[in-house]
Structure 1
Amino acid sequence: MAQIVEPEAGIDPPSAVEAVVAQMRALIRERKLGVGDVLPSEIELGAMFSASRNTIREAVRTLRAYGMVESRKKVGAILVDGRLGAMTDLFSFAMEISADTFRDIQGFRRLTEMNLFDVIVGRIDDAGFEALAALNAAMAATASVAEASELDYRFHRRLIDAAENRTLSDIYAMLEPVIRRLMEVGKSRREALHAVAVEHADILLALRQRDRIAFSYHMNRHLDAGLQFFAVSAKADQQPEPAGRAVREAS
């Protein structure tokens, strides 16, 4: 006869839904399911866990709230990873864009991108170099500030992804909105956009030539370049309004 284990004093036993959620998470681990895989149907899950269909539906809703699954018609519950997107939105909303933010973010990028040289040169191939060059050419050709910033980010993200470090790639994905907003500063100036394209080309050449010193020099110079535009913006904000304009607005 099976022994009944009483819950510890002061600890509420898990509800039926919580118990099924725990079982579903265990099932995902045991079957090594990943993003894009489909969970068993509600009927199958109910039979597996001896639970009612309503309990299974509530458990699926709980996993959906956690950002772990997404329900699709005629398909069922599909595993997703919405947690990173939620973190990205929160981080971007809370981050103030300023010269101090620029220094902090670029400092983080300097510690990562500049120290990936050996890993990148050991893994990037001709196709990778061509893809980077194409992104740089497209960035130099566009007249859209938003598109130029997106292509600039994709250039650096491709360098990061070449290291094949999933955690680092996830961190850069989380930082994307903030990095792109920093990149937009000054990109309305054509000379600044041209300078970025030249700096990218220098970084690529250093990688092709497997020149660590040149890579570090050009990457460091590139990551510092945008700070001047924050200084220009700050001075513009502090400029007093022309006397004539102030009088006109007051009248």
Structure 2
Amino acid sequence: METAEIEDKGSAVDQVVDAIRRLMRERNLGIGDALPSEIELAAMFNSSRNTVREAIRILKAYGIVESRQKVGAVITDRRQQALMELFSFAIDMSAESFLDIQGFRRLIEVNLSDLLFQTIDDAAIARLEAINDAMRLAPELSEAAEFDFKFHAELISFADNRTLSQVYGILQPLLQRLMEAGKRSRVAVESAYDEHCDIIAALKKRDRIAYAYHMNRHLHAGLQFIQPPKEPRQI
């Protein structure tokens, strides 16, 4: 392909990206609203469907839209999460960073009992138990880490505080990477399973002291599975 053709193609896609963003502003479309179909957008902008598809792909990369089955391109806002995904891979998962992150979680999750005891019911308890069982049975350690995050995210959701749920959603890439670092063996998964069981038992009894104790112990326990920093070699 000649250079001029590549530039023309890139220019056409950029124009459609700008046109879609203008359309979102003009129609006052917000998060959760669906864009017109690719065929409709191509007709609106007098463009090819391939160009529209490439423009949608770019908007997905920006975290502005996502594809949903039977709906098409839906407006979202994953820009903060995309940034956290980048940050999570850049951060050094050392003992120090583990303690910093878990200290933040401790401020929230250990002190969550008052909110939880007001809202949690048998169905919520059963949901936590099912997630915990799935974590234990997960064939891959990375999958076990996903269920570990899901357990804590579900716990946060039961507190019925939308801001906390949004914060954990944004932090998911970082927290999940931390959980993966703490699940380098089946022993670590079994330990997390038992600790989750203790937390669930405290929730069932509405025992604030037991809940705080077991949650605090659980958030600190993973430190033993984090690799300590290597000592510098002596010359």
Letter of the structure 2 residue corresponding to residue 37 of structure 1: A
Q: Which residue of 2 aligns with 1:249?
A: none
Alignment of 1:63-142 (within 5 A): 64=59, 67-69=63-65, 78-142=74-138
1:238: how far off?
4.2
Instruction: Give CA deviations for 1:44-103 in whole Å, capped at 9, x if unaligned.
Output: 9x7xxxxx868xx99xx699375334589x977632223244223222132211111101
Structure 1 position 110, deviation (Å):
0.5
Say if 2:24 is the partner of 1:28.
no
Alpha-carbon offset, residue 186 of structure 1 = 4.7
Partner Cα separation in structure 2 for residue 142 and residue 42 of structure 1? 43
Give the gaps of 5 or more residues in structure 2.
1-16
Structure 1 partner of 2:192:
196
Within the candidate set 146, 149, 159, 1:150 is matched to: 146
Distance 1:84 1:207, change over 3 A: same
Q: How many residues align?
A: 209
- Corresponding position: 1:37 with 2:34: yes
Matched position secondary structure for 2:74 = strand
Residue of structure 1 in register with 2:214 after alignment: 218
Number of the residue aligned with 1:8: none
C-alpha distance in 1, partners of 2:83/2:211? Answer: 32
Greater mean alpha carbon deviation, residues 161-170 or residues 92-101: 161-170
Cα contact 2:66–2:74 (8 A) shared by 1: yes
Q: Indicate if the aligned counterparts of 1:117 and 1:212 stay in contact, CA closer than 8 A.
A: yes
| More contact order relative to length (CA 8 Å, sep ≥ 6) | 2
The structure whose Rg is larger is 1
Residues 158 and 23 from structure 1, CA distance in 2 versus in 1: closer, same or farther, beyond 3 angstroms? same
Give me the identity figure in percent: 46
The correspondence of residues 161-176 of structure 1 with structure 2, limited to 5 A, is: 161-176=157-172
User: Quick check: 2:202–2:210 contact (8 Å CA) kept in 1?
Assistant: yes
Q: Whole-Å Cα distance in 2 between the matches of residues 76 and 139 of structure 1?
A: 32
What amino acid sits opposite 2:192 in the alignment?
Answer: V
Check conservation: 1:149, 1:184, Cα contact below 8 A. Answer: yes
RMSD over aligned Cα atoms = 3.6
Output the CA distance in 2 between the equivalents of 1:139 and 1:70: 28
3-state DSSP class of the match of 1:234?
Answer: coil
Question: Conserved in 1, the CA contact under 8 Å of 2:128 and 2:151?
Answer: yes
TM-score, length basis structure 1? 0.67
- 1:209 deviation in Å? 1.1
Q: After superposition, what is the alpha-carbon deviation per residue over 1:209-239, rounded to whole angstroms, capped at 9, x for unaligned?
A: 1111111111001101111233xx327x449
Residue identity in the other structure for 2:35: V
Q: Is the 8 A contact 1:35 1:80 kept in 2?
A: yes
Contact 2:184–2:225 (Cα < 8 Å) also in 1: no
